[in-house]
Amino acid sequence: HPIAGLAYDGIAAIGALVASGNSSALTRGALTQSSGFRGVNGVFRLMADGTNERGLAVARIVDRGVTIVSPAPTGFGSAGF
């Protein structure tokens, strides 16, 4: 299903925070940490305004062939974020 990845990402984020052992793991600050989380479709982070950012690859399709122009980032420390 198209939204299954979103559900997985939500559970993965909660799981990562709980696994940290911090008693205040499920706070607004923890959920909106700038480093984000690793999800099934790549890295993502939740923003304080309710939106999200996702690290996506950029590809070019020409004559039924796909070329990766820019690979998906593995974190949010690079340019563009």
Q: Are 38 and 68 in contact (CB under 8 A)?
A: no
pLDDT for 78? 61
Q: Which two tokens stand for residue 38?
A: 């690793």
Residues 6 or more apart whose Cβ sits within 8 Å of residue 52: 44, 45, 46
CA-to-CA distance for 32 and 45, rounded, in angstroms? 7
pTM for the complete prediction? 0.79
> How many CB atoms within 10 Å of residue 45?
21
In tens digits, the chain (81 residues) has pLDDT values of 879 999 999 998 999 999 988 777 889 999 999 999 999 888 999 999 999 999 999 999 999 999 999 999 999 986 555
Q: Residue 1 to residues 4, 5, 6, 33, 47: CA-CA distances in angstroms?
A: 5, 8, 10, 28, 25
Residues 6 or more apart whose Cβ sits within 8 Å of residue 39: 5, 8, 9, 12, 13
